[in-house]
Structures are given as C-alpha cells and as structure tokens.
Amino acid sequence: MTSIHADIDALKGLHEALVRYRHAQREVAGRGEEKIRVIRASLEAKASRWRAELEQCRAEFGACQERAAQAAADGPAATDDPVDCSGYARAAEQCEERLEQIRRWQQRIDAEASEFGGIASRFGDLLENDLPRTEEHLLAIIRSLEAARRVQVTGS
C-alpha cells in the first residue's frame, strides 16, 4: 500500500478496532452481570445455611433451658450439678451475627447493583445502538475517501 493510502488503512484499522471493542465489551458486560448473579446466589445460599444453623442453635438452647428449669423444679439436690446453657446461647448469638452480616452484604449489593444497573444500561445502549452507528459512519468516511482516490473498495 502506498503512503497516500496510509490514512485509509489507519481508518480501516480503527473500524476493525471499534468492531472488536463492541464485541469484547459486550462480553465484559455479560460477565459482570453473571458475577452479580453468582455472588447474590452464593450469599443467599449462605444465608439459608445460617438460618438453618440458627434454628438448630435456638432449639438446642431452648431444650437446655427446659432441662435447667426442670432441674430447678426438682429441688436443691438436682442443682448440685447445674445445667449450663451459656454455650448454646453463645452459639445462637454467633449464628445471628453471621446471618446479620450476610443480610447487610445482601442489602449493600442490592443498592450498589441498582446504582450500577443505570450505568450498565446506558453503556449497553451505547454498545447496541451508538457504536454500530459510529462504525457505519466511519465506513462511509472510508468509502468516500476511497471513491475520491478511485481506490477499489475491498473487504468492507
């Protein structure tokens, strides 16, 4: 190619770069959405696990309290070896804390994802509508330059 056509070659290179960019960023956007979905599902699974754990801890704590109440009702002889439920209480508190921590993350992600959604939507619109128009516009410029120089249009 002669140097007089260097600008046309450069514009063709830019056109190819724009097309590649559109496809690559579509893929990036899709992966971003997928990551949001995966993390949300993961947090929900963790929350579900900790809810079940909390239920179990509360049941064990309740059973322990019943044993303690029964021991107290049985009289002083039974209280020589008092029933200690503090371990069950701590376990239930830890479950509640873990569950609350997950809930806070879920709420934060909902808020952040909602804010991101607006930006992602505008970018998606740019990729689907504006960028193809830009590519078409550039192709038209390339064709007009080629026509002006009587260069045969190839591969466009």
Partner 1 sequence: MVTRPDRDGEQQLRLLDDAWDKASQHWHDSMARQFDTGHVTPLLRESRGYLEALRKLMDVLEAAERDTEG
- Site for partner 1, rule CB under 8 A: 6-7, 9-11, 13-14, 16-18, 20-21, 24-25, 27-29, 31-32, 35-36, 39, 42-43, 46, 98, 101-102, 105, 108-109, 112-113, 115-116, 119-120, 122-123, 126, 130-131, 134, 137-138, 141
Cβ closer to partner 1: 74 or 97? 97
Residue indicated by tokens 């801890």 = 57
- Of the candidates 20, 99, 93, 4, the residue with the CA atom closest to the CA atom of residue 57: 93
Give 55 or 97: the residue with its C-beta nearer to partner 1. 97
Q: How far is the CB of 78 from partner 1 (least distance, A)?
A: 39
Closer CB to partner 1, residue 23 or residue 67? 23
Give min distance, CB of 75 to partner 1, in A: 44
DSSP string computed for 47-80: HHHHHHHHHHHHHHHHHHHHHHHHHHHT-GGGGG
* Contact status, residue 8 vs residue 151, Cβ threshold 8 Å: yes
Tokens of 9: 């070659």
